[in-house]
């Protein structure tokens, strides 16, 4: 990729190796990796596509330090498969695959521009051998209510701007996943249902738009 010079690649690998060696602050590598990548600007036709699906093109991300806190609490293992519904430029998936034991991370996103940015990061990681061979990082351009996610063990969604119809469709979709240990992290509470129970509330979680966002953790009943 033209935008990543040899010097920049070396610097990123140095940061990655440093983070690995000290065993903490691994999210510093993710912040460095994404410092020139943004999902805030997309074309009008892409915005309309998202509106039509019940979402909102307004962009925001969970901060890497906040996700690190959640991942520590979730205690992911090598059996876990992470899905981000409306993944934007793929930052949570990249962080999960690079800093946790999870074997697979999948991001689903409607915006072609944002998916292209996510694929760009994946290509960079693969080219510089920063993706372990036993792990999988994938990004899918598509509607989150129609995408396959049968192997999901943890689903994350920055759902602040999802409308009620979309939230109901997502709950119905997640209910078809057979994994009895499925966990769901969402910024909006799930609609009333008989398939998921609220097990924990994380208060004052910093996001790019607010330092005091609530995150809800559900488990499948």
- Confidence (pTM): 0.87
Q: Rounded mean pLDDT of 121-142?
A: 94
pLDDT tens digits, residue range 208-218?
999 999 999 99
User: Hey, where are the domains in the chain?
Assistant: 6-220
Q: Which of 5-19, 44-58, 106-120, 141-155 has the lowest mean pLDDT?
A: 5-19
Which residues make Cβ contacts (< 8 Å) with residue 156, sequence separation at least 6? 82, 83, 84, 85, 92, 184, 185, 186
Question: Whole-angstrom Cα distance, residue 175 to residue 187?
Answer: 18
Whether 69 and 95 have beta carbons less than 8 Å apart is answered as no
Percent of the chain, pLDDT > 90?
81
- CB 220, CB 180: distance < 8 Å: yes
Q: What's the Cα-to-Cα distance from 146 to each of 26, 53, 109, 152, 169, rounded to whole Å? A: 33, 11, 11, 14, 10
CATH of domain 6-220: 3.40.50.150
């Amino acid at each position: 990729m033209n935008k990543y010079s040899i010097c920049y690649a070396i610097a990123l690998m140095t940061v990655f190796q440093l983070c690995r060696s000290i065993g903490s602050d691994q999210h510093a590598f993710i912040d460095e990796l994404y410092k020139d990548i943004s999902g805030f600007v997309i074309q009008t036709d892409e915005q309309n596509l998202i509106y039509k699906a019940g979402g909102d093109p307004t962009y925001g991300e969970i901060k890497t330090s906040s996700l690190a806190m959640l991942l520590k609490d979730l205690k992911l293992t090598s059996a876990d498969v992470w899905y981000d519904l409306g993944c934007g430029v793929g930052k949570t998936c990249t962080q999960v695959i690079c800093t946790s034991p999870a074997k697979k991370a999948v991001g689903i996103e409607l915006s072609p521009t944002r998916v292209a940015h996510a694929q760009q990061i994946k290509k960079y990681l693969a080219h510089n051998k920063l993706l372990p061979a036993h792990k999988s990082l994938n990004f899918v351009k598509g509607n989150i209510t129609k995408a396959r996610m049968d192997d999901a063990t943890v689903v994350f969604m920055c759902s602040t701007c999802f409308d009620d119809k979309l939230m109901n469709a997502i709950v119905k979709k997640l209910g078809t996943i057979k994994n009895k240990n499925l966990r769901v992290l969402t910024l909006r509470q799930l609609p009333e249902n008989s398939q998921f129970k609220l097990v924990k509330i994380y208060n004052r979680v910093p996001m790019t738009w607010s330092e005091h966002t609530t995150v809800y953790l559900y488990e499948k009943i």
